[in-house]
């Protein structure tokens, strides 16, 4: 049986009487105010009850997880592979069954549209991704796509009629698994000319070009197609993404809904030191030029500079540290590090990056090695959720009698890049022990249903603005 709930009174939806200006203050937990939303007065439509078909939604999640290159319970679904193409077909079919008109762009972003009563107005969008890194779980991203389709079904069953069109988006390759580029589809939608140019020569680990892989899946035919994915700023009036938290806070605190006020964005750095190497026994300690110790010292410097920022929201990780030649009896002649730094405050994060750079220079000089590379691979700006969307999400949670927590997202999402196109907001739901990117990833049908309800009501409110 579908999971049903009734509101204590008819929920009357209409255009908000005003849209508040964006709150430019840093929306960290310590400065957050209680967003109460706007009172709703005019009667455009009403929802006396909403219903989420939780069993059907869970069945879809389970079925989608079967399109995997690794056995259950893990999921591996990599961009433009056979399993990815089958999963895309599955999503397009569900969109069609929900009455949405379906289209795809040149790199495979999929759009399902419910036309509103005023097609001249920019649409309200929602969605996420379905690609999965090797041996991960079946909820990351997927809840935001299948849940968005079910939110449309919820509104359809309620008799709701949108004023602004509603659009569900399945983004191409949020994960950087195949070509090392995260949020590939949404970055391009946001108009990244740098990425469009890079994709002309990008290859994967098997030396297959992006263009060849895309064509094999039925997409990009030539270089010129890539820029056709770009969207103008204002193409959507709002974008809302439903996602599992990928952290433990909501579950630990027993709170069903997280409302995201900001997304921390990463900067990625590649560093290489070059030394002389030599025999581990024959070269005396005072005479060494050890590239490995330079890397180790820089790794500790990353931790120190992050902690010196004074903010819990500043994080840094040395995720890759490689030594050459990699023999126990050989002094490392070369070291390679890859560093991830994140913050919701762009200036604070960039200050950490500069300190890391200065430390790398100093360490190289002190240890008599060469700093052969210090390259900032990407330096994306963080994104703030729009005040009017925060209000709509909070109001929806309250009307549904669901407690909520204002929080930031420490992982990045397609919403980070959609914020460059339109006002943005995110809804989090709890996940088991905060697990993500592993087979144990799990979110209950009740938590998923709660997220879908809040998403559906938020979309309805934004559609009538």
At 140 the pLDDT is 98
Q: Give residue-wise pLDDT tens across range 410-441.
A: 998 999 999 999 999 999 999 999 999 999 99
Residue 369: which of 274, 271, 270 has the closest Cα?
274
The CATH code belonging to domain 265-379 is: 3.30.70.360
Q: Which two tokens stand for residue 105?
A: 């762009």
Strands 257-263 and 424-429: antiparallel
Q: What percent of the chain has pLDDT over 70?
A: 90
pTM value?
0.84
Residue 282 CB burial class (10 angstroms; 0-12, 13-18, ≥19): exposed
At 47 the pLDDT is 56
Q: Give residue-wise pLDDT tens across range 31-58.
A: 333 333 433 333 334 554 789 999 999 9
At 265 the pLDDT is 84
Bond prior to 93 in cis (omega within 30° of 0): no
In which element (H, E) is residue 319 found? strand 315-324
Walk along the chain (465 residues) and give the pLDDT tens digit of each residue.
344 433 333 333 333 333 333 333 333 333 333 333 433 333 334 554 789 999 999 999 999 999 999 999 999 999 999 999 999 999 999 999 999 999 999 999 999 999 999 999 999 999 999 999 999 999 999 999 999 999 999 999 999 999 999 999 999 999 999 998 999 999 999 999 999 999 999 999 999 999 999 999 999 887 778 999 999 999 999 999 999 999 999 999 999 999 999 999 889 999 999 999 999 999 999 999 999 999 999 999 999 999 999 999 999 999 999 999 999 999 999 999 999 999 999 999 999 999 999 999 999 999 999 999 999 988 989 999 999 999 999 999 999 999 999 999 999 899 999 999 999 999 999 999 999 999 999 999 999 999 999 999 999 999 999
In which element (H, E) is residue 273 found? strand 265-274
What is the CATH T-level fold of the domain 3-264+382-463, as seen in this structure?
Aminopeptidase (3.40.630)
First to last CA, the chain: 33
For helices 445-463 and 54-65, the axis angle rounded to 10 degrees is 110
Residue ranges covered by each domain of the chain: 3-264+382-463, 265-379
Beta bridge partners of 316: 341
At 35 the pLDDT is 35
- Average of per-residue pLDDT values in the chain: 90
At 46 the pLDDT is 52
Determine the distance from the C-alpha atom of residue 108 to the mean position of all C-alpha atoms in its chain, rounded to a whole number: 17
Instruction: Name residues whose C-beta falls within 8 Å of residue 260's C-beta, 6 or more positions apart in sequence.
Output: 385, 407, 408, 409, 415, 425, 426, 427, 428
- Please check whether residue 405 is in contact with residue 35, taking contact to mean a CB–CB distance below 8 angstroms: no
| CA–CA dist 344, 427 (Å, integer) | 17
């Amino acid at each position: 049986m579908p999971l049903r709930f009734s509101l204590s009174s008819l929920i009357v939806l209409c255009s908000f009487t005003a849209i508040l200006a964006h709150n430019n203050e840093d929306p960290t937990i310590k400065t957050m105010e209680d967003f109460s939303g706007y009172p709703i007065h005019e009667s455009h439509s009403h929802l006396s009850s909403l219903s989420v078909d939780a069993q059907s939604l869970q069945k879809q999640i389970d079925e989608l997880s079967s399109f995997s290159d690794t056995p259950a319970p893990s999921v591996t679904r990599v961009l433009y592979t056979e399993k990815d193409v089958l999963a895309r077909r599955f999503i397009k079919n569900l969109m069609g069954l929900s009455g949405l008109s379906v289209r795809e762009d040149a790199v495979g972003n999929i759009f399902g549209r419910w036309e509103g009563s005023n097609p001249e107005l920019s649409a309200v969008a929602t969605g996420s991704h379905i690609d999965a890194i090797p041996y991960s779980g079946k909820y990351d991203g997927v809840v935001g796509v299948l849940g968005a389709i079910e939110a449309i079904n919820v509104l359809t069953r309620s008799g709701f009629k949108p004023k602004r069109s509603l659009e569900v988006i399945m983004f191409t390759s949020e994960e950087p698994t195949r070509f090392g580029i995260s949020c590939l589809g949404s970055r391009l939608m946001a108009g990244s000319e740098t990425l469009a140019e890079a994709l002309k020569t990008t290859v994967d680990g098997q030396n297959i070009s992006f263009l060849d892989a895309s064509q094999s899946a039925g997409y990009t035919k030539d270089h010129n197609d890539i820029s056709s994915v770009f969207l103008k700023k204002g193409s959507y009036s709002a974008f809302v993404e439903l996602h599992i938290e990928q952290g433990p806070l909501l579950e630990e605190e027993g709170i069903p809904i997280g409302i995201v006020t900001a997304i921390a964005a990463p900067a990625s750095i590649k560093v290489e030191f070059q030394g002389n190497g030599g025999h581990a026994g024959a070269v005396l300690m005072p005479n060494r030029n050890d590239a490995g110790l330079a890397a180790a010292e820089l790794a500790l410097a990353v931790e120190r500079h992050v902690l010196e920022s004074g903010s819990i929201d500043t994080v840094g990780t040395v995720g890759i540290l490689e030594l050459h030649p990699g023999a126990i009896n050989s002094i490392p002649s070369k070291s390679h590090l890859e560093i991830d730094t994140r913050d919701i405050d762009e200036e604070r994060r960039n200050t950490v990056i500069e300190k890391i750079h200065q430390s790398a220079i100093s360490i190289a000089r002190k240890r008599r090695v060469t700093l052969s590379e210090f390259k900032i691979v990407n330096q994306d700006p963080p994104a703030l959720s729009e005040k009017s969307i925060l209000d709509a999400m909070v109001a929806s949670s309250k009307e549904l009698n669901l407690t909520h927590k204002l929080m930031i997202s420490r992982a990045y999402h397609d919403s980070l890049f959609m914020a460059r196109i339109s006002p943005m907001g995110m809804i989090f739901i709890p996940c088991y022990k905060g697990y993500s990117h592993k087979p144990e990833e799990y979110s209950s049908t009740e938590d998923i249903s709660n997220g879908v309800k809040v998403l559906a009501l938020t979309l309805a409110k934004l559609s009538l603005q």
